[in-house]
């Protein structure tokens, strides 16, 4: 697929989307994000793809929304083009999405990472919401996902002070799943994605839906969603295969049916 601002490839069951505007530290222009959501849409529809990695490459994840694109915009421009609302194409992916983050993940870059299901950070990764320094606030989840991930006080600190957290600090806060040497971040993320891709995809989808529901609903309602998804999986071939394979002491093969 030919894109201008990203690279998109599929290797076996794993999709890889690479942000590719290195001269501006992968600034997330509307055109770039449209390509990201388009590529993710193709991967959503491609049954062969079972997990996706998104990265900015070896040096930087993304230094935020494109300031040059936004500087002279009016509120009405922003409202009508719904700049960050259009990023919903990232969270609507039903397949596991892993962020492989090296270097800066700032502003929208950090919010894009927070939209993912796992975050693998290189030891060079830096997370932050510096929007306050520009006279604005986070607009793609930075004031909402930080408190749900790391609590109110850290969310206030990150958004009010506009500073940066190291990969190690992000790991201590539970924001990041692994911290690895920057040279292997993408490979580690791809390896984890391959591991997930070898598991029953319908179960993976139900896990993603159920965990995400837990952030949206009271406990009893979330438990009802989980139970419904649990019962539903007994209608799948993969459940029969998984349980029979266990009893027959062999490895299961999962078709996503």
How many residues line the site for ligand COA (CB under 6 A)? 15
Dmax (CA) for the chain in angstroms is: 65
Nearer to ligand COA, 158 or 197 (CB): 158
Give the CA distances from residue 225 to residues 189, 207, 212, 219, in Å, rounded to whole numbers and listed in that order. 29, 10, 11, 10
Is residue 64 at the binding interface for ligand COA, with CB under 6 A as the rule? yes
CB of 15 to ligand COA, least distance (A): 25
Is residue 65 annotated as part of the catalytic site, yes or no? Answer: yes
Nearer to ligand COA, 93 or 114 (CB): 114
Is residue 15 annotated as part of the catalytic site, yes or no? Answer: no
Binds ligand COA (CB under 6 A): choice among 17, 54, 66, 105: 66
DSSP state string for the chain = ---SSEEEEEETTEEEEEE--GGGTT-B-HHHHHHHHHHHHHHHH-TT--EEEEE--SS-SB--B-HHHHTT--HHHHHHHTTTGGGHHHHT--S-EEEEE-SEEETHHHHHHHTSSEEEEETT-EEE-GGGGGT----SSTTTHHHHHH-HHHHHHHHHH---EEHHHHHHTTS-SEEE-GGGHHHHHHHHHHHHHTS-HHHHHHHHHHHHHHTTS-HHHHHHHHHHHHHHHTTSHHHHHHHHHHHTTS-------
> In the range 165-224, which residues lie near ligand COA by CB under 6 A?
none
CB of 89 to ligand COA, least distance (A): 19
CA–CA dist 177, 237 (Å, integer): 31
Angle subtended at Cα 102 by Cα 180 and Cα 91, rounded to the nearest 5 degrees: 105
Binds ligand COA (CB under 6 A): choice among 68, 71, 80, 235: 68
CB of 142 to ligand COA, least distance (A): 9
Binds ligand COA (CB under 6 A): choice among 10, 31, 34, 67: 67
Q: Which stretch binds ligand COA (CB under 6 A): 6-14, 130-138, 153-161, 216-224?
A: 130-138
Is residue 47 annotated as part of the catalytic site, yes or no? Answer: no
Is residue 131 annotated as part of the catalytic site, yes or no? Answer: yes
> In the range 6-45, which residues lie near ligand COA by CB under 6 A?
24-25, 27
- The catalytically annotated residue of 35, 131, 138, 203 is 131
Binds ligand COA (CB under 6 A): choice among 39, 53, 63, 196: 63
Site string for ligand COA, 88-127 (x = CB under 6 A): ----------------x-xx--------------------
As annotated, the active-site residues are: 65, 108, 111, 131
Contact set with ligand COA (CB under 6 A): 24-25, 27, 63-68, 104, 106-107, 130-131, 134
């Amino acid at each position: 697929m030919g894109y201008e601002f990203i690279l998109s490839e599929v290797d076996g069951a794993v999709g890889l989307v690479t942000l590719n505007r290195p001269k501006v530290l992968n600034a997330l222009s509307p055109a770039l994000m449209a390509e990201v959501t388009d590529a993710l849409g193709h991967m959503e529809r491609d049954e062969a793809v079972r997990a996706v990695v998104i990265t900015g490459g070896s040096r930087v994840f993304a230094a935020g929304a494109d300031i040059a694109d936004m500087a002279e915009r009016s509120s009405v421009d922003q409202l009508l083009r719904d700049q960050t609302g259009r990023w919903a194409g990232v969270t609507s992916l039903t397949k596991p999405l892993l962020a492989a983050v090296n270097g800066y993940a700032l502003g929208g870059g950090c919010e894009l990472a927070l939209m993912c299901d796992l975050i693998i950070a290189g030891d060079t990764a830096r997370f932050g919401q510096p929007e306050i320094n520009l006279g604005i606030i986070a607009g793609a989840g930075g004031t909402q996902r930080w408190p749900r991930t790391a609590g109110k006080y850290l969310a206030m600190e990150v958004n009010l002070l506009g500073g940066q957290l190291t990969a190690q600090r992000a790991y201590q806060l539970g924001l990041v799943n692994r911290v690895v040497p920057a040279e292997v971040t993408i490979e580690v993320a791809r390896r984890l994605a391959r591991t997930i891709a070898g598991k029953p995809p319908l179960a993976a989808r139900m896990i993603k839906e159920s965990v995400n529901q837990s952030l949206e609903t009271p406990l009893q309602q979330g438990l009802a969603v989980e139970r419904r998804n649990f019962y539903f999986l007994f209608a799948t071939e993969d459940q029969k295969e998984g349980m029979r394979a266990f009893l027959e002491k062999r490895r299961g093969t999962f078709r996503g049916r």
